[in-house]
Structure 1
């Protein structure tokens, strides 16, 4: 499993890519925008689980 810092870097990378795609495509329903958005959701869920596990293990 990835560490918190690694996941945070991936989140920032995906956010930047999502902003770039939204600006270039101009359509939130574009397949590339949706794909990156879904990937960002997946990574955010992974981050949430890491944080929860970190808190539970304290």
Structure 2
């Protein structure tokens, strides 16, 4: 499993945990907000990885096409 796949698993697990906590303790409880903030950080990291990865593939492809 690569880093991106592992990150997606963590996101899904945290999303499920946040939903459970929010339903039990309320959406604005300190624990729900904390989990939500942690989830935001993971989603931002995933978005960053996703933006970087296609650029690397394009560079690799263009270098390969040019015989580099």
TM-score, normalised to structure 1's length?
A: 0.89
CA distance in 2, matches of 1:10, 1:4: 10
Higher helix share: 2
RMSD: 1.2
- The structure 1 segments of at least 4 consecutive aligned residues displaced by more than 2 Å after TM superposition are none
TM-score, normalised to structure 2's length?
A: 0.77
- In structure 1, list runs of 5 or more residues that go unmatched: none
- In structure 2, list runs of 5 or more residues that go unmatched: 58-68
Give the structure with higher Rg (CA): 2
